[in-house]
Structure 1
Amino acid sequence: MSVIPLWASHGGAGSSGVGATTGVMLAATVVTQLNMVWLFRLLSLRQMLAVGALVLAVATPAYVLTDALAPLVAISAVRGIGFAFVVVAGVALAAELAPAGKVATAAGWYGVAAGLPNVFLMPAGVWLAQTWGFAPVFLCAAGMALLAVPLLLSLPEHGRQARRTGPRGWVDRRAFTAAGVFLVTAATLGTVATFLPVALPESPMPSIALFVLSVVMVATRLGAGALADRHGPGRLVAPSAIVCAVGAAGMAATVSDGGPALLVAAAVFGAGFGAAQNDSFVVVLRHLGPGRSGTASTIWNIAYDGGMGVGPFAVGLALTLTGYPGAFLALAVALALAAAVGYAVGGPRMGMGVRETPQL
């Protein structure tokens, strides 16, 4: 997520092209996720994870061949397809394996597993690319994706996924409100991951800031899961978006200097994002009801990946007018507005008022 934009910039791509490497990958992810209903009928969750990991492992080494923008975008689109399989199946399986009454905590632990690579590899990838070159980063990433496949043999096998899409019917608007708020927070994270290294290409601060953001994000996601299981989900969605807005505004004020204050802003944003990430998923899962973990995972991941793609793409187009501080400030305003809408539509406890999420 943070190295490919640098590789595109190395090849001479402008800001819109740099943003497109992330935007197109996640656009392909979302398009794949929109077709998950029939994919659930063909594959089990474990099979979907294996297919996704293999696609990522096969596509990633192709980055070594060129830094020209067109092939980079095409490779990113293929990776987006594999990524869609992994993220939808992964979070749905985490929900299915959760003990009764511990879905939010299980989602938090899943977030730890998903977030630890961000903690170490998102910032380390930038440093390694700057120090050792890009090719070792791409080859190592492909190798790690390939290693995931044999690990899947230890997971329980479930039946076909048609039943997990659940019956079609009315869905509480609070599920989509929570997903919408999270989409805006994800758009900001995608922008930070894509453009912070590009904004300060010779500085170690982007790597350190991404590390701090990721550490705090994992910790708060786990804490949010425990809180939601104890007091009910939905309480943190709007407040966490406000915290993200404060962090984004802080990055707007500090990105030009690249000093230690940037790390504080990154930590604040990471705290808000981790809480929003976990609480929004549990709200969507709860409001869709029993037997629809696959659908809930699809809706939430579309918000996540759609935001991660739309943010960098839109900011890439606007950077010539706004600059990096203006872009981050605009995202802070969007986050505050999303929090206000979430509070107005869902109220302070948008996860409450519906049946308990069963053991799936």
Structure 2
Amino acid sequence: MTTTCEIPTVQVATAERLVTGRFGRLLVMVFGSGLSMYLLTSVVPLYLAANGSGGIGAGLSTGAMMLSAVGVELLVPRMLARWGCQVVLGLGLVLLGAPSLVLLTTASLPAVLAVCVVRGAGLAILVVGAVALVADLTPAARRGEGLGIYGIAVGVPAVIGLPLGVYLTNRIGFDALFVLAAFSSLAGLVTLVGLPARVSAEEQHVKVLGGVRRSGLLMPTFVFAAVTVAAGISVTFLPLAVAADKHSLVATALLLQAATAPGARWLAGRYGDRVGPAKLLAPALVLAALGAGSLVLIGNPIAIVVGSTLFGLGFGAAQNLTLTMMYHRVPNSRYGQVSALWNLAYDGGWGMGAIIFGAVVAGAGYPLAFGLTALVVAAAVVPAVKALQPS
């Protein structure tokens, strides 16, 4: 899961220290909680499949977590205003980490789904709460750089956790992974000491869906949701679609997907500033569609590795380009709405894609289901191209 906010430019340079002790503790907490999430993102579907609840059950597990996050994200600002950062972040760490230990005792689908719902709530609390603190813990003149460092702390756990979780299933087993995921989150409780009790910014109430169509936010929101559908599907079902004795291949593919996305996101931002993000969006979607489509050849190791890499490039670029387009289309007063919409598209697309894909797989099999996923991404190219045409 990713959250972004816009920070106004400050023109006065300063040598004020960026990574203070308090900001460093926040980064450690973010890294640990992110690792807890990504270690189990692909492992929980494997756990369900190993216990007879694959397919639909696997999709429901991812969908339950991400859709739970969508609902709770809208509540976190009020929670922060009422109870303060330390209490709310502590609650998030417990909700994300502790339920993993329940999986030591049961593989029942209803119980696993309940665990995923609770973990999704914890994830939402941590993402929104951590971003709210970044502005307070970084110097105003270096806040953009601080958000960049925060972005690394959010992104690196995906690079490590997605492939590592799959790889370790055959090395240390599910139970040890569940304990590791719980510890990774709960250990962050010690980092809360010394963090601000409350954020200094006043609570902002954003009408997330207000004026979406008139402001031009609908198209990039739809486009990004289409890509995140495929992202949720790949990390949930790729380990299930490949034979159990080839989990090292899946781990490599997930590593390449997770590692290429941040680089593509940075490059898209760099060149999008020069030529305009709308000009790069359609090529990014084509890359993502090709990557998703290559998984139709699920029995071919080269197709899996190359496809995951292409999808990582397209997905990373689309993250930056859609968000930048949305910011360009609204005044500063609506930046909060942009961030909320973008994150709802991220989590909602990820969750709904996994649920629907699981149902399709049950009746049509993996190759056809992956082909339909690629068509969903490819369909988003049409509005992206239309955005280049003069109105």
Identity of aligned residues (%): 31
Note if 1:19 corresponds to 2:73.
Answer: no
Q: Unmatched 5+ residue regions in structure 1?
A: 351-360
Q: What is the letter of the counterpart of residue 60 of structure 2?
A: A
Deviation at residue 170 of structure 1 after TM alignment:
3.5
Structure 1 residue aligned with 2:268: 224
Report the structure number with the largest CA radius of gyration: 2
For the structure 1 residues 211 and 145, does the alpha-carbon distance in structure 2 shift closer, same or farther, using more than 3 Å as the test? same
For the structure 1 residues 12 and 168, does the alpha-carbon distance in structure 2 shift closer, same or farther, using more than 3 Å as the test? closer
Note if 1:199 corresponds to 2:199.
Answer: no
Deviation at residue 337 of structure 1 after TM alignment:
0.8
Structure 1 residue aligned with 2:105: 65
C-alpha distance in 1 between matches for 2:380 and 2:325: 16
Q: Secondary structure at the match of 2:199?
A: coil
Moved more, 223-232 or 21-30: 223-232
CA contact (8 A) 2:268 2:320 kept: yes
Q: What is the letter of the counterpart of residue 203 of structure 2?
A: A
Deviation at residue 159 of structure 1 after TM alignment:
2.2
Structure 2 residue aligned with 1:303: 345
Structure 2 residue aligned with 1:115: 155
Deviation at residue 216 of structure 1 after TM alignment:
0.6
Structure 2 residue aligned with 1:135: 175
C-alpha distance in 2 between matches for 1:243 and 1:98: 38
Moved more, 130-139 or 266-275: 130-139
Note if 1:53 corresponds to 2:93.
Answer: yes
Structure 1 residue aligned with 2:303: 261
CA contact (8 A) 2:133 2:199 kept: no
C-alpha distance in 2 between matches for 1:98 and 1:348: 41
Identify the match of residue 280 of structure 1 among 307, 322, 329. Answer: 322
Q: Secondary structure at the match of 2:332?
A: coil
Q: What is the letter of the counterpart of residue 173 of structure 2?
A: G
Note if 1:81 corresponds to 2:124.
Answer: no
C-alpha distance in 2 between matches for 1:269 and 1:75: 29
For the aligned residues, what is the CA RMSD?
A: 3.1
Deviation at residue 126 of structure 1 after TM alignment:
0.9
For the structure 1 residues 169 and 322, does the alpha-carbon distance in structure 2 shift closer, same or farther, using more than 3 Å as the test? closer
Q: Secondary structure at the match of 2:299?
A: coil
For the structure 1 residues 333 and 160, does the alpha-carbon distance in structure 2 shift closer, same or farther, using more than 3 Å as the test? same
C-alpha distance in 2 between matches for 1:164 and 1:127: 43
Structure 1 residue aligned with 2:291: 247
Q: What is the letter of the counterpart of residue 64 of structure 2?
A: V
C-alpha distance in 1 between matches for 2:208 and 2:253: 44
C-alpha distance in 2 between matches for 1:187 and 1:340: 17
Q: What is the letter of the counterpart of residue 338 of structure 1?
A: A
Deviation at residue 16 of structure 1 after TM alignment:
0.7
Identify the match of residue 217 of structure 2 among 175, 200, 213. Answer: 175
For the structure 1 residues 168 and 338, does the alpha-carbon distance in structure 2 shift closer, same or farther, using more than 3 Å as the test? closer
C-alpha distance in 1 between matches for 2:384 and 2:133: 28
Structure 1 residue aligned with 2:70: 30
Identify the match of residue 372 of structure 2 among 322, 330, 335. Answer: 330
Deviation at residue 294 of structure 1 after TM alignment:
4.2
C-alpha distance in 1 between matches for 2:161 and 2:89: 21
Q: Secondary structure at the match of 1:131?
A: coil
Structure 2 residue aligned with 1:353: none
C-alpha distance in 2 between matches for 1:112 and 1:348: 35
Moved more, 90-99 or 4-13: 90-99
Q: Unmatched 5+ residue regions in structure 2?
A: 1-40
Note if 1:212 corresponds to 2:256.
Answer: yes
Q: Secondary structure at the match of 2:326?
A: helix
CA contact (8 A) 1:188 1:331 kept: yes
Q: What is the letter of the counterpart of residue 218 of structure 1?
A: P
Moved more, 222-231 or 77-86: 222-231
Deviation at residue 236 of structure 1 after TM alignment:
3.5
Structure-2-length-normalised TM-score = 0.78
Q: Deviations over 1:73-127 (max 9, x none)?
A: 0110001111112233445656886967985x76665443222111111111011
Q: What is the letter of the counterpart of residue 107 of structure 2?
A: D
Structure 2 residue aligned with 1:356: none
Q: What is the letter of the counterpart of residue 267 of structure 1?
A: T
For the structure 1 residues 275 and 168, does the alpha-carbon distance in structure 2 shift closer, same or farther, using more than 3 Å as the test? closer
C-alpha distance in 2 between matches for 1:45 and 1:295: 22
Q: What is the letter of the counterpart of residue 276 of structure 1?
A: A
Note if 1:341 corresponds to 2:389.
Answer: no
Deviation at residue 252 of structure 1 after TM alignment:
1.7
CA contact (8 A) 1:241 1:338 kept: yes
For the structure 1 residues 282 and 320, does the alpha-carbon distance in structure 2 shift closer, same or farther, using more than 3 Å as the test? same
Structure 2 residue aligned with 1:355: none
For the structure 1 residues 100 and 329, does the alpha-carbon distance in structure 2 shift closer, same or farther, using more than 3 Å as the test? farther
